[in-house]
Structure 1
């Protein structure tokens, strides 16, 4: 009897699973398939082909896929390579509290590519991938201006606090903050435009808004420590670098595929005004598939006229971790990170670290998140290229997620114990 074993069946979305098929004849070709339907009703699927070993087993921790959506030994390949049936759709959990992603795993005892009512799976299992651990609370935040959602781990605390931000998609995105809260952080998923009564478009970055968010965290009875952290990607990472530079409340900052300067929208903080490097929309590139590649739209940080827009990151008192995908097609993230590192070196500063990942693209997310090379954005007519290759990108997500948590624990709670 063919058996498909998956453990654990209920787990956080960033946890690895053990997947094993047994009861097969030796040297049997099988197809393993994963599928889920997201909150918008879009189906995501992945497939891989395996040969059973002499014992009639396929253990994904040891067995190499021969083809399908990936090849080689990739224990979580079925999850990392989930692809949308609807082109250019990005898998993103919206309601993190009420429901998990339910992923169905099927094994077919042959080569299986085309759907057919006559080709039924030999065994199936359904697993739940949650974005909150039991006991995590979600508190809606509405300060004088600040809009967001604070995720609190179970217990009295105090917990190290951090702000979690995304980029140009706007709105309130909660899945990374909820996972970080599940790992022991008081994590504030912060919206800063295109949400509730916030501006529809980001016309200016008012750093006092983000300072208010930091003070809300520091004033919470379950948040401990003298400062807070920031984890951010894309435009959010640009803002995070400015927060690290100008806000004394920020003691640990993680910038994922950001820039080294203020781009597109001016930054204000009290009496400080930094004019942006203008975007160059006329330099947008179209790929042969009609996708937008935006890296050339970003203005030149080396030009003399743009030096006033460079973030003076050497003023940052806290620690900074730069996480870079070297195949990012949204920003030239590696070049910007190297500019930051060089500026810190020139000023004798040693509070900045760079993690650079060959083959990784722009959307470096928690492990288990499917690789997304391109997807639609609410602010562009055509889909946007994010870049990267599936296998190195998945490896970057796994490694960087561990390093980000270690970094945050070390610098936000130096005398406490890490949850890793």
Structure 2
């Protein structure tokens, strides 16, 4: 059933309103119409055209149902699908979800609105081939921040994979504020004055994050101690984008020991991806004027990708239920 909500329900002409449509099928074309009559009985109307849900759904063959997973990437933005396809080949129903720099989404990430991600989990769980009641979430870099916030605020998240996340991994927001219903948390600004340019002309962002243990940052704290599900932290110790091991350990310190597990890999860089993916130690992304330094050494990084992928699959199967069918 399609549901349309307008907030606020009553508004003056010079105040914005938010129109939210739920229950649409993925990629469904929809037309929104609005009209009013003035005091003379004249009718004014407007319409706009949209395409629903900004993501790609990968389903294994067969009737299912299959364990559901939301797949999130980071600062590159857009829609990245290769990991979701691989997870689907392992028997999971996977929604690769874009959250900025895609279609009509904002070109840059100004804030994290958790209602957007809540709606994505609702859409995925409503699919007839997806088994509930809980979901898995996997995210890398900025996507790892989002994944941990989903585990904190949304009850659907029962198994979260956090790969080299940033400040939110410490239970603090960096760079982007978070909003969710009546909750609004400010962000700790990035220390852009601490960005270094290497001899190769790449940006070294490892010092861009402020001290997460600074007491003045308490207003930006995320209550990760409220997480009910399980979290797997995956860390590359040679990450040149950020000190992800510190962020992971600080987050784990706020959670019961049985709720989290850490995989830490010496020599692995920031972009820990599925096995046989090449090491990417430097690359360009659309949001940066110069290439970014990710770090990593070829052999240990490859070994980390091979080992962590097996552990990620095992973790998701354990806490979501084994997939009923695999390719």
TM range (shorter): 0.7 to 0.9
Deviation at 1:233, TM superposition (A): 0.3
Aligned to 2:272: 364
* Inter-partner Cα distance in structure 1 for 2:52 and 2:157: 19
**Which structure 2 residues correspond to residues 333-348 of structure 1 after superposition, within 5 A?**
333-344=244-255, 348=256
Alignment: residue pair count: 278
Deviation at 1:323, TM superposition (A): 0.4
* Inter-partner Cα distance in structure 2 for 1:418 and 1:307: 46
Q: Aligned to 1:288, which of 188, 199, 209? A: 199
* Inter-partner Cα distance in structure 1 for 2:324 and 2:126: 22
With over 3 angstroms needed to count, the CA separation of the structure-2 counterparts of 1:355 and 1:272, relative to structure 1, is same
Aligned to 1:228: 135
Aligned to 1:160: 67
The answer to whether the 8 A contact 2:206-2:243 is kept is yes
What 5-or-longer segments of structure 2 have no aligned partner?
A: 1-24, 30-50
Deviation at 1:357, TM superposition (A): 0.5
Aligned to 1:350: 258
The answer to whether the 8 A contact 1:319-1:351 is kept is yes
1:183 has 2:94 as partner: no
1:192 has 2:108 as partner: no
Q: Secondary structure at the match of 1:295?
A: coil
Aligned to 1:207: 114
The answer to whether the 8 A contact 1:374-1:385 is kept is yes
**Which structure 2 residues correspond to residues 87-102 of structure 1 after superposition, within 5 A?**
none
Q: With a CA cutoff of 8 Å and minimum separation of 6, indicate the structure with the bigger relative contact order.
A: 2
Higher mean alpha-carbon deviation, 252-261 vs 139-148, is at 139-148
1:315 has 2:226 as partner: yes
* Inter-partner Cα distance in structure 2 for 1:351 and 1:182: 27
Q: Aligned to 2:189, which of 257, 274, 278? A: 278
* Cα deviation 1:56-101 (Å, max 9, x = unaligned): xxxxxxxxxxxxxxxxxxxxxxxxxxxxxxxxxxxxxxxxxxxxxx
Deviation at 1:290, TM superposition (A): 1.7
Aligned to 2:48: none
What 5-or-longer segments of structure 1 have no aligned partner?
A: 1-138
Deviation at 1:141, TM superposition (A): 4.6
* Inter-partner Cα distance in structure 1 for 2:281 and 2:121: 33
* Inter-partner Cα distance in structure 1 for 2:191 and 2:28: 35
* Cα deviation 1:255-308 (Å, max 9, x = unaligned): 100032211010011111111111111110111222101121112201111122
Deviation at 1:418, TM superposition (A): 8.4
1:411 has 2:322 as partner: no
Q: Secondary structure at the match of 1:350?
A: helix
* Inter-partner Cα distance in structure 2 for 1:349 and 1:216: 32
Q: Aligned to 1:381, which of 275, 289, 297? A: 289
Deviation at 1:142, TM superposition (A): 5.8
With over 3 angstroms needed to count, the CA separation of the structure-2 counterparts of 1:141 and 1:351, relative to structure 1, is farther
The answer to whether the 8 A contact 2:64-2:324 is kept is no
* Inter-partner Cα distance in structure 2 for 1:313 and 1:411: 19
Deviation at 1:146, TM superposition (A): 3.3
The answer to whether the 8 A contact 2:60-2:326 is kept is no
Aligned to 1:302: 213
* Inter-partner Cα distance in structure 1 for 2:211 and 2:143: 19
Larger relative helix fraction: 2
The answer to whether the 8 A contact 2:89-2:326 is kept is no
1:327 has 2:234 as partner: no
Deviation at 1:161, TM superposition (A): 0.3
Q: Taking structure 2 as the reference length, what is the TM-score of the superposition?
A: 0.82
Q: Taking structure 1 as the reference length, what is the TM-score of the superposition?
A: 0.64
Alpha carbon RMSD of aligned pairs, Å?
1.8
With over 3 angstroms needed to count, the CA separation of the structure-2 counterparts of 1:308 and 1:273, relative to structure 1, is same
